[in-house]
């Protein structure tokens, strides 16, 4: 017989109940069948699992060494059984999530943690890219749901759920000679190179954060911030992410005479009308709007 799902269940029942008869009652069997099954298992293993010289069988040292592993496998089997049932009830086999590189991912990760606790065997992947690339992945079916900035116009092919907002802050390297000592207006940035997070290949569809006539692209937020730190231009970055660089003096927040420095960009969870969210994606979108 050796160890399989039935023998693991039987073995743990005897360990936890303390006797063959108690294990038999718990499993709905007769004590002789439990005793015989344990005996057959011991014969195949080549050593005793229980010392029968006492009133009740006592687990041997070898048996006790197997217990943690048996319990782990038993728990995994339970998870597998639950997951198999959930797949039949609408849980997707894989949940692919896109998130725009400029968006703080803490809220998303908190929501994923909730899903992982609820569906521990669900395969989840998170893909990070600039805004236009993430939306392209959504419409191609590469991801089933994404976190993206809300556009000025509605896409009739999409559904969305508001999940929060990002405040985009105009920043400059703390030691940059650009604009030093000047009393700035926002329009002064039109003639200063801007560093932006944008797709490598796709045209920029969301132009609200774009101010300068000249700009350089980076396809990751980290690289874009490093470029600004290096004095290559100024950048409009999410305050939630760039705050630590402001605090330690690596970047500075620009002050304008004619407007507050801070463009509020709504963040939406977005999916396609033609591909309604399955169980895992629904469980993701639900907690995204909750405060951290």
**Residues 189-209 pLDDT 10s:** 898 999 999 999 999 888 888
Q: Is the pLDDT of residue 79 over 90?
A: no
Query: Does pLDDT of 292 surpass 60?
Result: no
> What is the architecture of the domain spanning 164-266?
3-Layer(aba) Sandwich (3.40)
Residue pLDDT, tens place only, 253-271: 998 889 999 989 999 999 9
Q: Residue 43, Cβ neighbours under 10 Å: how many?
A: 11
**Best-predicted range by mean pLDDT (197-211, 233-247, 275-289):** 233-247
Each domain of the chain, given as residue ranges in start order, spans: 5-88, 94-157+272-288, 164-266
Same fold, 5-88 and 94-157+272-288: no
Domain 94-157+272-288 has CATH 3.40.190.10: yes
Q: Residue 214 has what pLDDT? A: 92
Per-residue pLDDT, 179: 64
Res. 181 pLDDT band, cuts 50 70 90:
low
Predicted local distance difference test score (pLDDT) of residue 161: 92
CA distance 176 to 191: 16
Residue-wise pLDDT for 141-150, tens only, equals 999 999 999 9
- pLDDT of res. 159: 93
Contacts of 266 (CB under 8 A, 6+ apart): 149, 150, 162, 164, 165
Mean pLDDT of 124-149: 96
For residue 50, the Cα-to-chain-centroid distance in whole angstroms is 45
pTM value?
0.72
Is residue 1 over pLDDT 60? no
Average pLDDT of the residues in 51-64? 89
Look at residue 221 in the predicted model and tell me its pLDDT. 94
Beta strands 145-149; 94-100: pairing state: parallel
Architecture of domain 5-88: Orthogonal Bundle (1.10)
Q: For residue 77, what pLDDT is reported?
A: 83
Q: What pLDDT was estimated at residue 99? A: 96
Q: What average pLDDT does this structure show over 199-227?
A: 91
Residue 177, pLDDT score: 75
- Give the percent of the chain with pLDDT over 70: 95
Among 129-138, 154-163, 178-187, 228-237, which stretch is predicted with the lowest mean pLDDT? 178-187
Q: How far apart are CA 80 and CA 25, in angstroms?
A: 25
Burial zone of 203 (CB within 10 Å; 0-12 exposed, 13-18 middle, 19+ buried):
exposed
pLDDT of residue 148: 95
Average pLDDT, the chain: 89
89 has a pLDDT exceeding 70? no
């Amino acid at each position: 017989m050796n160890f399989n799902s039935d023998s693991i269940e039987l073995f743990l029942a005897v360990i936890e109940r303390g006797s063959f008869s108690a294990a038999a009652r718990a499993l709905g069997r007769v004590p002789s069948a439990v005793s015989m099954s344990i005996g057959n298992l011991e014969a195949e293993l080549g050593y005793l699992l229980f010392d029968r010289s006492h009133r009740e069988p006592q687990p041997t040292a070898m048996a006790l060494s197997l217990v943690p592993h048996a319990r782990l496998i038993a728990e995994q089997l339970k998870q597998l059984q639950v997951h198999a049932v959930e797949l039949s009830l609408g849980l997707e086999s894989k949940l692919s999530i896109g998130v725009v590189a400029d968006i703080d991912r803490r809220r998303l990760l908190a929501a994923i943690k909730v899903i992982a606790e609820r569906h521990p065997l669900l395969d989840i992947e998170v893909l990070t890219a600039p805004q236009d690339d993430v939306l392209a992945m959504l419409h191609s079916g590469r991801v089933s749901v994404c976190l993206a900035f809300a556009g000025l116009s509605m896409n009739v092919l999409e559904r969305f759920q508001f999940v929060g907002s990002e405040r985009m802050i105009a920043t400059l390297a703390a030691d940059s000679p650009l604009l030093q000592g000047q009393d700035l207006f926002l329009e002064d940035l039109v003639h200063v190179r801007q560093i932006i997070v944008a797709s490598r290949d796709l045209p920029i569809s969301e132009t609200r954060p774009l101010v300068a006539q000249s700009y350089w692209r980076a396809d990751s937020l980290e690289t874009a911030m490093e470029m600004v730190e290096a004095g290559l231009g100024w950048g409009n970055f999410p305050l939630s992410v760039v705050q630590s660089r402001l605090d330690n003096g690596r970047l500075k927040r620009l002050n304008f005479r004619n407007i507050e420095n801070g463009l509020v960009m709504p963040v939406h969870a977005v999916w396609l009308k033609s591909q309604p969210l399955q169980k895992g994606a629904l469980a993701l979108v639900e907690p995204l709007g909750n405060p951290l």
